[in-house]
Amino acid sequence: MASGAPFRFHKMHGLGNDFVVIDARESAVAMDAARARAIADRREGIGCDQLVLIEPSATADAKITFFNADGSLAESCGNASRCIAQLLGGESRVETAGGVIALIAEGEGATVDMGAPRFDWDAIPLAYPVDTAVLPVAWDELEAPIAVNVGNPHAIFFVPDTDAVALDRLGPLIEHDALFPERVNVNVATIESPQRLRLRVWERGAGLTRACGTGACATAVAAIRSGRAHSPVTVALPGGELVIAWAPGGTIRMTGPAAHVFTGEARGL
């Protein structure tokens, strides 16, 4: 599908991680990888890190599909979920490929219950059985990551200084490593105190972004589980801050802002 019928969209962002959101609950909008890639293209399309499609759901208030800028599908997207919370208003439950999540719109942001993290090697997924608390692998100075699935797959590296890591070079190598059969989001984090960490993320299918909500969730969970941090954890990303609360055995709650930039109509995409 090269292009399709005109559609209305919302341009939104969460901490600078930006989205084209199409509300197709009342009139269907056909979407596939090629069309999503064309819309996400920053030179010839509208431009975004993720395209988000809202459709009717038989089991929840809406069904949400996340496409990365490269056209690939993502099971989950934390920052976009807060934007959806703002669009739907109040309290809602939405169906995603990563599971049903609960949204609460609050002022100019939202709190999202992202569900429970998973740690089994085949739930990440990894290519072979290994201890996900310390993966026995290294890429230059990035070594022994922790793997966590929060709907989507993440590898987390704790490093002395996130800014010193060449994430633009190492991110794509790790994302495409054969250890991760569905590719992976790459997080580099520095613990500043037991309740605050700094984070940069190379996103699967989108590259370096200003912020990644699921990356913040996965990293906070990895920090708490490994005794590096205590809940709630403030995660400082290049685009701003999120607060993540989690206790072992429970679900992850993410709180942060969501911004509506403009509403537009697209033709020829």
Q: Please give the positions annotated as active site.
A: 77, 212
Closest distance to ligand LBFN2T5F from the beta carbon of 28 (Å):
23
Closest distance to ligand LBFN2T5F from the beta carbon of 164 (Å):
23
CA 110 from centre of chain: 15
For the beta carbon of residue 236, count every other beta carbon within 10 angstroms.
Answer: 18
Evaluate whether 70 touches 39 at the Cβ level (below 8 Å): no
**Quick one: which of 77, 88, 94, 266 contacts ligand LBFN2T5F (CB under 6 A)?**
77
Is omega for the bond preceding 6 within 30 degrees of 0, making it cis?
no
Query: Beta strand pairing status for 259-266 and 142-143?
Result: unpaired
| Type of residue at 31 | M
Our CB check for ligand LBFN2T5F shows the closer of 120 and 141 to be 120
State yes or no: residue 257 binds ligand LBFN2T5F (CB under 6 A): no
Our CB check for ligand LBFN2T5F shows the closer of 86 and 185 to be 185
C-alpha torsion angle, residues 123, 217, 111, 101 (rounded to 10): -10
Q: Which residue has the tokens 């509300």?
A: 23
First vs last Cα of the chain: how many Å apart? 10
> Interior CA angle at 78 toward 106 and 233, to 5°?
75
Is 68 labelled a binding residue?
yes
Is 50 labelled a binding residue?
yes
Interface positions, 186-225, toward ligand LBFN2T5F (CB under 6 A): 203-206, 209, 212-214
**Quick one: which of 7, 37, 50, 155 contacts ligand LBFN2T5F (CB under 6 A)?**
50
Residue list, annotated binding site for substrate: 17, 50, 68, 78-79, 152, 185, 203-204, 213-214
Query: What residues make contact with ligand LBFN2T5F under the rule CB under 6 A?
Result: 17, 49-50, 66, 68, 74, 77-79, 152, 185, 203-206, 209, 212-214
